[in-house]
Structure 1
Amino acid sequence: MRTAKGFTLIELVVVIVILGILAVTAAPRFLNIQGDARAAVIEGVRGAVVNANQIANAKYQLGYGVSIGSTATDNTFLDLNKNGAQDDGEPLMVWGHLDNVSVEEMVNLDGDLVVSDPEAPGKNKLYIGFAQSADALENGQCYFLYTQASGEGSEPSFETVTSGC
């Protein structure tokens, strides 16, 4: 009498099906494609804001800044057409850098991003990121934070947090 060696066809098919089910359920966890894409968007927002700020600061240094009030914060706007009045698209500046209110206007943001209210009293920060609401951005772990310049000679800060994307 012959003894069978190896697996039967049914056993082989069952093992392959079980491995397939495990792969389908585990692959998204290991690949994390959506989280990586969100983190890349946040890094892209940071790059766009840094570049917009550098361009605005260069224009300011070239004499396009026009004072609009208090010298305590050096509030100015960029008078791009040199007509002496602030027109649409001319950003507010603080100490020669973009005001947090103007950042969103100067960067073309994706519609899926949530932006905090830059005009809230006492706010000198702007959060841009992925969250359920603007209020949840500060507590979330997937955002870009712009903090405007705080004084003469100071620079704005550009921070990304992507651990929760």
Structure 2
Amino acid sequence: MKKMSGFTLIELVVVIAVLAILSAVAFPKFAEISDEAHRSAVEGAGGSFTSSVSLVRAQWLANGTRTAITDLPGYGEPDNVIDVSVDGWPTGVNGNTNPSGMTAAECNALWGALMNTNGLTTSTAVGEDYLTTVNSGDCRYTYQATVDGHNVEYDPNTGTVYTDIQP
């Protein structure tokens, strides 16, 4: 007579039940961690954008010229692609120095020039990391990886960057 080894049916059912209970408890924790990671990604992008805007204004102040400038000297070398308003805030890359003249395409190009990264992509059409729109004259970059509506908003009149994290 051969001796059988392995799990009995009851042992198998108990293991499956324990795994089901553990996964039911652990899944909400993993979902919460994922949500927090998305919120942190938007906060990080907002912080980077704020720093970039501040650096452009600092360069404008250091240059000593208190006028609107296309292709700000000393920033974005060798290309000098950033245009600034009469108040020194970034307003575009295509010769736009009027903060009231911002379009979604101009906001999109500004993000690319200020962020200078391939890691965070923007577009005026759905499909990239951030969807670029204009909201009451402000550039709005809405995070697309979730449907929560997290966004970074830039006011080219004041240089203020808002990071809006939805609950």
Which TM-score bucket, shorter chain as reference? 0.5 to 0.7
Structure with a larger share of its residues in helix: 2
Q: 1:90 to 1:37 in 2, by over 3 A?
A: same
| Match of residue 3 from structure 1 | none
Determine if the alignment matches structure 1 residue 145 to structure 2 residue 157.
no
**RMSD (Å) for aligned C-alpha atoms:** 3.4
Matched ranges for 1:25-104 at <5 A: 25-31=24-30, 32-63=32-63, 67=67, 75-80=68-73, 88-94=79-85, 95-99=87-91, 101=107, 102-104=110-112
TM-score, normalised relative to structure 2: 0.60
Determine if the alignment matches structure 1 residue 18 to structure 2 residue 17.
yes
> Percent identity between the aligned chains?
10
Alpha-carbon distance, 1:123 to partner: 5.2
The answer for unaligned runs of 5 or more in structure 2 is: 1-7, 93-106, 122-127
Indicate if the aligned counterparts of 2:133 and 2:141 stay in contact, CA closer than 8 A.
no
TM-score, normalised relative to structure 1: 0.61
Alpha-carbon distance, 1:88 to partner: 4.3
Name the CA distance, whole Å, in 1 between partners of 2:47 and 2:33: 21
Indicate if the aligned counterparts of 1:91 and 1:98 stay in contact, CA closer than 8 A.
yes
Aligned length: 132
Q: 1:22 to 1:64 in 2, by over 3 A?
A: farther
| Match of residue 72 from structure 1 | none
Name the CA distance, whole Å, in 1 between partners of 2:70 and 2:148: 32
Indicate if the aligned counterparts of 1:64 and 1:79 stay in contact, CA closer than 8 A.
no
Determine if the alignment matches structure 1 residue 158 to structure 2 residue 166.
no
Alpha-carbon distance, 1:56 to partner: 0.6
Name the CA distance, whole Å, in 2 between partners of 1:30 and 1:10: 31
